[in-house]
Structures are given as C-alpha cells and as structure tokens.
Copies of this chain bind each other. A is one copy, B any other.
Amino acid sequence: MNRIILGVDPGSRATGYGLIAATGESLLHLESGFIALPAQLSHSQRLARIYQRLESLISRYNPEALAVEAVFLAHNVQSALKLGQVRGVVLLAAGQADIPVFEYSPLTLKKAIVGYGQATKTQVLLMVENLLGLTLNNHNTADALALSLCHHFHSRWPQRSVSPAAI
C-alpha cells in the first residue's frame, strides 16, 4: 500500500514542507521545499501565500495525513503568537481537505529519525538525506521531511502512540 504523508514545519520566516510516499519498507521522496515569505508582503498576504501553496500540494498529492511538530515552548508570547498564526493556516489547510493532523514532539521526532532525543538539527538533516537518498540544504525542509518520516514510522505499528492533534 502506498502511503503519502505531508510533513510541515511552520515558521514565521519560512515554512518547510515535505511529501513522502511509503510502500512497505521503501521510502520515496515526492517533493519538498520551503515557502519563503518576502518582507514586502503584509502579514495576511504571507499567510495567504503559505495557504495557497499547501492547498495546491494537498490537491496534487492527496496525502493521507499531515504531520507537524507539537509546540510547547516559544521564546516569548509575541513569537508564540506569530508561530501560532502560521500554524493556524497549516492546520486549516488540512481541515479544509479533511486530512487528519498528527503532532510529534521534538523529542519523539529526533528519536524516530536519529534514534537519540538530543540529536542536533544537522544530525536530523543528515539522517533524512540518508533515508531518502537526497541532498538538502535547508533545515525547514529537512524538518518537514523528518516529520513525514516520523509519522510513517509511528503509524506503521499501531501499538505505538499516535494521537490526533489535541486542542
């Protein structure tokens, strides 16, 4: 069975996305990249750009799930608000297409990809490159692909914890 999973790494500067197709033990990279947000756009125009890009990826690939990082920390209330705004648009894109959303903590993500909860961003990027046989030069893109891989590894075995995004 071919499972298509979309991972998204929302950020107020750039939002990474990564689509993989998993068939049994084989993993295929479909498409990945990041949505850059030009400074001259207004905030609502930036959010519209992210939404339109995700909407078009979802309609092209029809993924069965969207994986995002669970957020527990932010530097401060203002950065939490900004991150929340981008995150809201990502969750909306899934909601409008009726795709379930799964959240993974940074610890779960690093354990799933590198096998070690304290792994660095570079270690995650290198493992994603290795697993999918490609070269990446952007951490947002690598994190987005890592999230889609993490969802695949976790949902292959139903006894592992997979929980729909909580409110």
Contact = CB atoms under 8 A, between A and B. Distances in A.
A134 interface: no
Given A77-B73, A165-B42, A167-B46, A87 B89 contact: no
A51 interface: yes
A36 interface: no
Interface in A101-122: 101
How many copies are assembled?
A: 2
Nearest to A75: B77
A46 B166 CA distance: 12
A83 B88 CA distance: 9
Contacts of A39: 167
Interface in A43-72: 43-48, 51, 71-72
A71 B85 CA distance: 12
A95 B48 contact: yes
B84 A47 contact: no
Interface string A155-167: 0000000001111
Contacts of A77: 72-74, 76-77, 80
Nearest to A166: B43
Contacts of A26: none
A103 to B, nearest CB: 9
Given A39-B167, A43-B91, A85-B85, 10 more contacts: A42-B95, A43-B167, A51-B96, A71-B81, A73-B77, A78-B80, A80-B81, A82-B167, A85-B87, A88-B88
7 contacts: A42-B95, A43-B101, A47-B91, A74-B80, A80-B81, A82-B167, A84-B87
